[in-house]
C-alpha cells in the first residue's frame, strides 16, 4: 500500500509540473560561495513572494525577450517591474509589489498590474537598453553593500541568453538610469524622491 501511495504521489507531482524553481545561474552574485548563496536565497525569496517567473529558466527554453527590475529597498515594499517584448514590437508591462520590506521578509503580494506598452514606447526602451550598454555591464557589484540602502537587480533574457546586473544603492550610472526609466517612464510609479535609494 505504501509503495502504491508513493508512486501515485510521484506521478501527481510530475504531472502537475511541480519543481523547485531556480532563479539564477551558479556563482552569479559573488565569488564567495557563502555570500553568493545568501544573495541567491534573498532575491529568490523576494521573487517567489512577488509571484515572478524565473527569467534564467525562461532563457534556457525560449528565445523570448524579457527584462525585469527587482528593487529591494531596505525599508520599503519590494517591487518587480517586468517588460515582455511581443512579436509585433509592442510589450506587456507587469508591476508587482509585496507588503513586506526589501531588506527583510517580503510579505504578500498587494499590487499586480499589467498594461500594454506601444511599439514606439517599447522601441524607445530597447534603444535605451542598448545606449546604456546593459548587455556589456559586469554582473557582480564592485561595492558589496552596506547597512541600509537598496539592491537594484536588473535581469534580461534574449535569444536564449541571460544577463543579470546587481548593484547596491547606485547613485548614478546605467543601472540606476535603467531602473528609474522602468519605475518612472514605463510603470509610472509615483515614488517620493526621498524613497529613491
Span 167-189, pLDDT tens digits? 999 999 999 999 999 999 999 99
Under DSSP, is residue 6 helix (H, G, I), strand (E, B) or coil? Answer: helix
Strand order in the sheet with 79-85: 109-117, 91-98, 79-85, 66-73, 150-158, 161-168
The pLDDT, as a whole number, for residue 155 is 98
Residue 70 pLDDT > 70: yes
Query: For the CA atoms of the chain, what is the radius of gyration?
Result: 18
This prediction has a pTM of: 0.88
What was the pLDDT predicted at 148? 85
Give the pLDDT score at 17: 40
Summarised one tens digit per residue, pLDDT across range 125-171 is 999 999 999 999 999 887 767 778 999 999 999 999 999 999 999 99
Q: Phi first, then psi: what are they for 112, rounded to 5°? A: -150, 90
Domains present along the chain, CATH in parentheses? 35-195 (3.30.1560)
Angle at 152 between CA 101 and CA 139, to 5 degrees: 135
DSSP code of residue 88: T
Alpha helices in the chain (DSSP H): 2-16, 33-49, 55-61, 119-131, 174-180
Angstrom distances, CA of residue 175 to CA of 7, 15, 138, 182: 48, 40, 11, 11
Per the CB < 8 A criterion, the answer to whether 69 and 59 are in contact is no
Residue 10 has pLDDT above 50, yes or no: no
What would the pLDDT profile of 12-61 be if each residue is shown by its tens digit? 333 334 457 999 999 899 888 998 999 999 999 999 999 999 999 999 99
Cell of 158: 534574449
Overall average pLDDT of the 69-77 stretch: 97
Intra-chain end-to-end CA distance of the chain, in Å: 58
Share of the chain above pLDDT 90, in %: 83
Closest CA to 28 of 134, 141, 169: 141
CB atoms inside a 10 Å sphere around CB 115: 12
Beta-sheet pairing, 79-85 with 109-117? unpaired
Distance CA 45, CA 61 (A): 23
Amino acid at each position: 500500500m505504501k509503495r502504491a501511495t508513493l508512486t501515485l504521489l510521484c506521478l501527481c507531482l510530475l504531472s502537475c509540473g511541480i519543481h523547485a524553481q531556480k532563479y539564477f545561474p551558479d556563482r552569479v552574485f559573488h565569488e564567495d560561495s557563502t555570500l553568493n548563496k545568501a544573495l541567491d536565497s534573498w532575491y529568490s525569496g523576494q521573487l517567489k513572494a512577488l509571484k515572478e517567473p524565473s527569467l534564467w529558466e525562461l532563457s534556457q527554453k525560449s528565445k523570448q525577450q524579457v527584462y525585469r527590475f527587482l528593487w529591494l529597498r531596505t525599508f520599503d515594499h519590494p517591487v518587480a517591474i517586468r517588460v515582455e517584448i511581443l512579436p509585433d514590437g509592442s510589450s506587456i508591462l507587469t508591476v508587482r509589489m509585496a507588503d513586506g520590506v526589501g531588506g527583510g521578509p517580503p510579505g504578500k503580494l498587494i499590487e499586480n498590474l499589467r498594461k500594454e506598452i506601444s511599439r514606439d514606447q517599447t522601441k524607445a526602451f530597447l534603444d535605451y537598453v542598448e545606449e546604456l550598454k546593459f548587455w556589456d555591464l559586469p554582473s557582480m557589484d564592485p561595492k558589496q553593500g552596506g547597512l541600509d540602502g537598496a539592491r537594484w537587480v536588473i535581469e534580461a533574457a534574449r535569444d536564449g541568453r541571460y544577463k543579470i546586473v546587481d548593484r547596491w544603492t547606485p547613485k548614478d550610472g546605467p543601472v540606476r538610469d535603467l531602473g528609474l526609466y522602468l519605475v518612472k517612464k514605463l510603470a509610472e510609479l509615483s515614488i517620493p524622491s526621498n524613497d529613491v535609494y
